[in-house]
Amino acid sequence: MLNELSEFLEVDYDKKKLIDKALHPTYCLRSPRFYKDALMEKCEYRIPHTKFCPKCNRKYPEKENFCMDCLVSLKHVSERKPIRDIEANPVFAFKGKNSFEDFKSILTEDNLVRINEFKFTMKDYEKIIKNIKKTSLKNMDEMIKENYVDLNDISTLGNVLLFAKSFVKVDYKSYGQVLGYFENDKIVIDDRQNSSLQITTMIHELAHFLLKEIMNGVLCRLLKCSKNRHIDVISTYILSYDNFTRLIDEYSAHCCEGRFTMYGYQDYSSFLSIVKQMDGEMTPEEIEMTKSIGNNFANTIKDILEIFIDRDLLDDIKDVFEHHNVEKPNYEMLKLENCNRLTDEGYLKAIWLIVTTGFKAAMDNIEKLEEYYKGE
Ligand SMILES: [Zn+2]
Ligand SMILES: [Zn+2]
């Protein structure tokens, strides 16, 4: 008797939509006919989705072969690579008419004069930033397409990892004490940390990469040359040879970390350990100035990272963070925050100071640069 009623059945699509939405937040509805067939055959609400459309990313059950909207063959989920396994090889280029083949031809008196004259405006600076943004977007787009990444279906850590890979290679380690480091355009992250710490570490190291890339842009602009490994080594040297530039670099990285996780939780240890070992070499005012300059760089870097980290992702990152960090924010560390920054004019002067003093130091240390160069 009850069975006889089956011929009067039809699917309540509105209800189905609600239930599916709760079960699979990214589920897309297909034609009524599809559901009717699927329900009759399986007699259940949940249909396992083992295939997806490589174009619109809609999910499909195993027995389907094509996406009738996009008119393409479906892919199997096993073809989706985990973000961690995606090979990234991002290339950031700056072009100029000169191309220098070795350190000796870059580090000349003539070039020092060019650097010192500093024909460089905020417009030039903005061009550099735009170039970096464009390249990273292109890199990310390629990765998504080549690996069928479904942005709606990856974890917060996966999301951050994916955008980090639009800039640099990311490797993992499970040894040693440091949480992560950045070297030769590669970020290495310790995967024994919880995901919130991996996210913070990744953003911190990414900030180091971006500051170096900004330096590359400035040098290429001033010397009207294309970027190559020699220029890259000089930029790395400029940011690390002296405590003044190391402090700027570290402070900027700490600030970016705080912006994208939660202020009060970031770890200032690298900055503090440089200050500690300085032994009065810089006055407290000078140290504060490195923080202000660091703020200027951090603002630019945040601006670049915000292409990828929108409000939603930012909220997700904060959720992950709160979940893992039940302690109170570190108010002592918050006292280290400096909220000043330089005007455009002052900022250009700071960049001038960094590159001229750094370039001069590099001229006197070509052997050291050769060592860096070979160290790849
Ligand atoms: Zn499709
Ligand atoms: Zn650092």
Distance CA 201, CA 180 (A): 6
- Same domain? 9 vs 141: no
Question: Above 70 in pLDDT, residue 12?
Answer: no
- Same domain? 7 vs 72: yes
- Same domain? 160 vs 307: yes
> What ipTM, to 2 d.p.?
0.79
Count structural domains, the chain. Answer: 2
Sheet holding 180-183, edge to edge: 169-173, 186-190, 180-183
What is the distance in A from the centroid of ligand 2 to the CA of 89? 22
- Same domain? 17 vs 92: no
- Same domain? 73 vs 88: no
- Same domain? 255 vs 370: yes
Pick from 79, 114, 140: which residue ends a domain?
Answer: 79
Over residues 58-100, the pLDDT tens digits come to 889 999 999 999 999 998 888 888 888 888 888 888 999 998 9
Residue-level pLDDT at 258: 78
Pick from 79, 96, 119: which residue ends a domain?
Answer: 79
Q: Among all ligands shown, which has an atom nearest to the Cα of 204?
A: 2
Identify any residues that bridge with 170 across adjacent strands, giving them in sequence order. 187
- Same domain? 25 vs 108: no
What is the distance in A from the centroid of ligand 2 to the CA of 305? 17
- Same domain? 222 vs 208: yes
Across the range 161-190, mean pLDDT stands at: 87
Q: Which domain holds residue 194?
A: 83-374
Residue-level pLDDT at 38: 46
Distance CA 4, CA 95 (A): 76
- Same domain? 33 vs 171: no
What is the distance in A from the centroid of ligand 2 to the CA of 376? 20
Residue-level pLDDT at 74: 92
- Same domain? 150 vs 213: yes
- Same domain? 337 vs 368: yes
Residue-level pLDDT at 6: 53
What is the distance in A from the centroid of ligand 2 to the CA of 210? 12
Q: Among all ligands shown, which has an atom nearest to the Cα of 268?
A: 2
- For residues 29 and 13, the answer to whether their CB atoms sit within 8 Å is yes
Residue-level pLDDT at 138: 93
Pick from 56, 79, 102: which residue ends a domain?
Answer: 79
- Same domain? 179 vs 109: yes
Over residues 309-358, the pLDDT tens digits come to 877 787 888 777 777 765 656 666 666 677 788 889 999 999 999 999 99
